[in-house]
Structure 1
Amino acid sequence: MALALVKRVFKKYPLVANCGVYGTLYVGAEFSQQTINKKFLAPNPEPYDQGTLARYGVVGTFIYPTILYNWYKWLDARYVGRAAPIIVKKLLLDQFILTPPLLVIFYTSMSIMERKGDILEECRNKIIPTFKSSCMFWLPAQSLNFLLVPPAARVVYVGSCAFIWVNILCWFKRQNY
């Protein structure tokens, strides 16, 4: 019964459903980072940083899933099939056309929400190492996506992978370059 309801919601309101799932996974990744860093690794347990969780909630619920939903809709309509040349095209477009703007959006939107003076400073310092890591993580993950995942489930699949990826992003975000 619950599964049927979830399927109905995804069918009737796909963008809203994808935003909810992606946002939950995105905030969950930051929550797990804070749990490790503030509860287990800290000499004295610290409270969760609600502001940071909220910022990840904004990016993960409203910005990224909306972009991804429309991107995959366009990409799947333009490049239909699972033949190797089509998958390679999708991989290259996804990694080299979509990913750089997503990383810029991540760092600049976080800087805006953090009210930093230079909203591009962190992006300038971290985008290259983050992009290199994203290639190592997302190219294999997206190969599976384009090969095995049905188009209607792409944002949820990417959200599930993003749970892992956001843990990596959180690590980059905490680095001082």
Structure 2
Amino acid sequence: MNKLVQNFRRILDKHPLISNSVIYGSLCVAAEFTQQTVTRKVLDSPSKPYDLETIGRYSVYGTTLAGPALTVWYRFLDKKFVGTATKIVIKKLLIDQFFFTPQLLVVFYISMSVMERKSDIFEECRSKFVQTFKTSCMFWFPAQATNFLLVPPTFRVTYVGICSFAWVNILCWIKRQSS
């Protein structure tokens, strides 16, 4: 197991943008697949097929937009605010949640609307942003406190990706709600 972790760390260190993007994109796909399994297979009808176009959109979002953005963002935060002192962690938490997260949520809703070919690509963002941001604060403050206190920088995006599996399930659920 130790050798597996060492190899994983070596890949993340050598190719952080590509590996983090693939990991994050895969976890986004897994979250949407989980949501569809619950909503389509358990709550609706077991014979209802999976919506592969929607799963594809989460793949595009996670791999080409969120994964790279998170990689660059955490690299920046770790260089700008070094350490795990309480004051540093609080700064990172606040900057992450109130500066970066709103932008990432806007990118999520607008990119999904573009990929869904909606006529008003801003409508869903306008109607769901506040609820999504509030939910994000409740979910991400404790998750990011753990991240900034305990997780080595090399594993930050992977850790966030694992947390995001739960978060994207929440996001998928919010997105499915009527505006």
**TM-score class normalised by the smaller sequence:** over 0.9
What's the secondary structure of 2:47's corresponding residue?
Answer: coil
Which residue matches 2:125? Answer: 123
Which residue matches 2:102? Answer: 100
Q: Tell me, which stretches of 5 or more residues in structure 1 are unaligned?
A: none
Which residue matches 1:165? Answer: 167
Task: State how many pairs are aligned.
Answer: 177
The 5-angstrom pairing of residues 71-86 of structure 1 reads: 71-86=73-88
Q: TM-score, normalized by length of structure 2? A: 0.95
Identity of aligned residues (%): 55
What's the secondary structure of 1:41's corresponding residue?
Answer: helix
Which residue matches 1:41? Answer: 43
Q: TM-score, normalized by length of structure 1? A: 0.96
* 1-structure distance, mates of 2:159, 2:6: 19
* 1-structure distance, mates of 2:157, 2:31: 16
Q: Cα deviations across residues 3-26 of structure 1 (Å, max 9, x unaligned)? A: 554333222111111111111111
What's the secondary structure of 2:120's corresponding residue?
Answer: coil
Which residue matches 1:142? Answer: 144
Deviating 4+ runs (over 3 angstroms): 1-5
Q: Which moved more, 1:151-160 or 1:13-22?
A: 13-22
Q: Cα deviations across residues 36-55 of structure 1 (Å, max 9, x unaligned)? A: 11111114531000000000
Which residue matches 1:175? Answer: 177
Q: Tell me, which stretches of 5 or more residues in structure 2 are unaligned?
A: none
Q: Which amino acid aligns with 2:149?
A: L
Per the TM alignment, residue 65 of structure 1 is displaced from its structure 2 partner at its CA by 1.1
Q: C-alpha root-mean-square deviation of aligned residues, in Å?
A: 1.1
